[in-house]
Amino acid sequence: MTWSSKKQSTVATSSAEAEYMASANATKEVIWLRMLLKEIDFPQISATIIFADNQGCISLTQNPVNHSCAKHIDIQHHFIHKHVGIGEINL
């Protein structure tokens, strides 16, 4: 378990968007930790769970194109969708 605090670089207009951005930052850290564990011969087989309690955020990670309210979210936050799709993380 890790902990970090970071000021978000963009302003969120909804709680789902704020949770989505925070989950994207958590995904970055998870990917880094998974690579570190793989380097020391402890590869992770199952998906890493990121706890998010916002249903809007969870649905955005599963299908970000169907949400018109998410068009303005910076592209750097949408990479979480890719990692959910390949099974590295799970919300």
**Between these two residues, 6 and 15, which has the higher pLDDT value?**
15
Is 79 in contact with 24 (CB distance < 8 Å)? yes
Q: Is the per-residue pLDDT at 66 higher than 60?
A: no
Closest to 8 measured CA to CA, from 74, 82, 63, 65? 74
**Between these two residues, 45 and 69, which has the higher pLDDT value?**
45
The whole-model pTM stands at: 0.71
The pLDDT assigned to 19 comes to 82
